[in-house]
Amino acid sequence: MQELLNYKKEIGFSILLVFLLALVRSFEELFYDPFLEYFKSDYMKLAFPEYDSLKLFFSLFLRYALNSLISLAIIQVLFKDFTLTKFAGILYLIFFLILILVFFSILNFSDEDNNLMLFYVRRFLIQPLFLLLFVPAFYYQDKISKKNNNS
């Protein structure tokens, strides 16, 4: 318990940053996303909704960027390693480029039988799912490297 009290500033910042992620999610209707209502309905039987490609791209980019910046701040607070945070930032950029390419490829070059794939690709673009993958991976890597340095 005493160890937790030593990290109260980091815990406070982490809670604040997670709250910011929740705010991005709770105000999702402020972002242009015609797929928001589409995926709340029986989308497996529906055609893709009409959308403005440019508006959709910038909306997805903005939401991904907000989630990524907050996630990078969480990683920095938790691990206090700028090199690790920079590495995570590069991964976020690479994953965005891949995901946005796949997202628009599905929309433009695929038949509408791939709406489940579109659902999951969109989910990675609009939710901070990579944070859930990166934190345990970086924690494990940190523990392994400390163990190897002590050996």
Three-point CA angle 139, 143, 145, nearest 5°: 115
Digit-coded pLDDT (tens) for 107-123 = 998 876 778 899 999 99
For the purposes of burial, counting CB atoms within 10 Å of the CB of 95, is it exposed (0-12), middle (13-18) or buried (19 or more)? middle
Residues 6+ apart with CB under 8 A from 139: 78, 79
Q: Residue ranges per domain, the chain?
A: 2-150
Residue 73 CA, chain-centre distance (Å), reads 13
Pull the structure tokens for residue 39: 């995926």
> Cα separations (Å) of 126 from 63, 99, 121?
6, 11, 9
Question: Which residue positions in the chain have pLDDT lower than 50?
Answer: none
Tens digits of residue pLDDT in 25-52: 999 999 999 999 888 888 887 888 899 9
- Of 96, 97, 72, 93, give the one whose Cα is nearest residue 84: 72
Global pTM reads 0.90
| pLDDT given for residue 1 in this prediction | 64
pLDDT the model gives residue 4:
67
